[in-house]
Structure 1
């Protein structure tokens, strides 16, 4: 906290009170409940959970309410709260092939076992304002399809049967934890994926977009995009086996990229991967594209000078909380710093004017 002048603390308390008043808005308008935010602003809730690294729809909705809809501030609140929670163990890796899919599409295969499931999506809407939503009544809801109740195999496994796609080796090692250990470069893929999952959606999206506009060496296809719920299991030492402790909704994206091969690998397809909380498919696709771009070095692909290939640039600038903290600190008092800068500029000006005066006199 900066208390630069007498009475500064009182001014800050008043600013907090005013903020609370502004957050509430017109008292004649019914207050927005956490449940309403959770149920009706679910996509905002999902983003806050993903970039806040905490799966709790109620807390994410509360953070959005407290932040007056500022999602980055809400993510900040969630991350700060997350640091207060004890860690009781590590869950097993979720098995996404057992996902009960509400949405599952592939841009690479038209006919896939299990079929294409459009699910709830904006893809086919006309992007016209629906003024019925501004009325007191709700628009008539369409009959919803029941969620898929059977496991759905990954589309990329069909390519794998022919050996056309790079095999992903499964590791039993516990991946590094970005929330507990500072990032060190070069980072392994698990750490990069953590950073991208927590990264700002807009930043990751712009990096992904750049790879599609020629600032990268590959063009991707969406092998599969799926959204649904998966079980979370935790090993209980006292029992000697794992138990299911709940389920989470996830968005998973696998992209397929052509790979011309290297000295040790034949021509084949390679993958990009994205996994996020809730329905956050734009973020998951962007994450997969950037993941593949950052894999260029390990795949032996000649890298360009494009930003999306620069691991340090991407990973050190994608975090919106770090970026916001550095950006917003410059609006806080820097009186002493500025006075020293001003004295320096005055001295430089005086020296230049003196030199000019001397030159004119000669």
Structure 2
């Protein structure tokens, strides 16, 4: 039970003014611009876009600035704004085979058709603070490697040519995958609906679950089959024209994990797949998503559900950081009536306990005499 707080408008207004003052910080330091945030804090912007479910770098930068760098608060702001936007329809399925690749690696094969492209990554950096960044030196831009013009062969396709990995299910001709924004959550969920939820799920939560699968809390022995970062074209089918028109390009990160599978009565021993696709450069999130996706396929693959990452109701019901934040932070709201009721109950129970203790001691004393 919640109690409305009256007479607190002045205090709330003052809190907002104090927040704005703290957000601005030292006036002798130039204020951050949205271009600076979008360009220099790009990975934070990518996370806000991904988990906010809205691809707009400038709006994500604005949300980060408004939230004073609190990414979950920024995600909340983006989600709230997204809810005000009209929906004109659905884009066509994105063809990641035609991705203009900026980064592409595989932990399964050293030599890949098209080569391994390291791209911008922290993977090989020393985790030491770089004092030179404090002075903001002007660093000459390095040569930007031209992305391959032809589509790069996927690792899964290499394994598939030998029948060593499960077939990739085509969605053509199947029912529409559904939309988690319009469809109430019901379990069990289809894989398409689960992937939507995982794609905008909290990175830290999914990372912890993915890590747990590697430590034995699910049947998982994963290999990073392929991780790609690059731009894909988004198209929209215009009914009046009868064909799809391009809306523009967006940057995405795609991850395919390949996992061992001993086989079943219906399938021979082979590798199975876990999949992740998120906005921007967010490969940690895409990897964690693919690990969780594979774990959630336990029932489909005839495996025993023995760990939290395999329980879709547990994973999907708790992976959304906006929902989790709301439920945790609502504890800051007034609960005066609830607490007073609990307080009275505890006092009553303590009085009864004290009475029982007193009676028990009296009985013992009388028995001793």
CA separation of 1:301 and 1:138: change in aligned 2, threshold 3 A: same
Shift of 1:208: 0.3
How far apart are residue 34 of structure 1 and its match?
0.6
- Tell me which of the two structures has the higher relative contact order, counting C-alpha pairs closer than 8 angstroms and 6 or more residues apart: 2
Q: What's the CA shift for 1:112?
A: 1.1
Aligned match for 1:272, one of 268, 271, 274? 274
**Which consecutive unaligned segments of at least 5 residues does structure 2 have?**
364-369
Deviations for 1:2-49, whole angstroms, at most 9, x for unmatched residues? 885543111111111111111111111100001110011110000001
Root mean square deviation of aligned Cα: 1.3
* Distance in structure 1 (CA, Å) of the matches to 2:21 and 2:260: 55
d(CA) in 2 for partners of 1:268, 1:195: 27
How far apart are residue 188 of structure 1 and its match?
0.8
Q: Is the 8 A contact 2:3 2:335 kept in 1?
A: no
| SS of equivalent residue, structure 2 residue 109 | coil
**Counterpart in 2 of 1:285?**
287
Tell whether the 8 Å contact from 1:231 to 1:248 is kept in structure 2 after alignment: yes
CA deviations on 1:316-341 (whole Å, 9 max, x unpaired) are 11111111101101111111111000
In the alignment, structure 1 residue 119 sits paired with structure 2 residue 119: yes
Distance 1:186 1:149 in 2: 41
Q: Partner residue of 1:167?
A: 167
Corresponding residue for 1:59? 59
The 3 A distance-change label for structure 1 pair 338 and 60 is: same
* Aligned: 1:338 with 2:342: no
How far is the alpha carbon of 1:361 from its aligned partner?
2.9
SS across alignment from 1:229? strand
Deviation at 1:303, TM superposition (A): 3.0
TM-superposed deviation, 1:110 = 1.1
Give, in angstroms, the shift of residue 181 of structure 1.
1.9
CA deviation profile, 1:48-99 (whole Å, cap 9, x unmatched): 0110111111110110000000000000000000111111111110000000
Counterpart for residue 221 of structure 1: 223
1:140 Cα shift? 4.3
Structure 1: 5+ residue stretches without partners: none
Structure 2 counterpart of 1:46: 46
Taking the TM superposition and a 5 Å limit, the aligned residue runs for 1:96-175 are: 96-172=96-172, 173-175=175-177
Structure 2 CA distance, aligned partners of 1:262 and 1:213?
23
Provide the residue aligned with 1:79 in structure 2: 79
SS at structure 2 position matched to 1:330:
helix
Q: Is the 8 A contact 2:218 2:295 kept in 1?
A: yes
The 8 Å contact of residues 208 and 308 in structure 1, kept in 2 or not, is answered as yes
Deviates more, 1:6-15 or 1:37-46: 6-15
Contact in 1 for aligned 2:114/2:148 (Cα 8 Å): no
Tell me the distance in 1 between the aligned counterparts of 2:346 and 2:122. 55
Equivalents in 1 of 2:254, 2:183: separation in Å? Answer: 26
Q: C-alpha distance in 2, partners of 1:336/1:149?
A: 66
For 1:76 and 1:118, the matched residues in 2 are separated by: 33
Q: CA shift at 1:281, angstroms?
A: 0.2
1:182 aligns with: 184
The DSSP-based 3-state class of the residue aligned with 2:300 is: helix
For residues 219-273 of structure 1, the C-alpha deviation after alignment (integer angstroms, 9 at most, x for no partner) is 0001100000011111111111111111110100000111111111111111000
Distance 2:141 2:345 in 1: 67
Larger displacement relative to structure 2 (271-280 or 145-154):
145-154
Distance of aligned partners of 1:336 and 1:312 in 2 relative to their CA distance in 1, 3 Å threshold: same
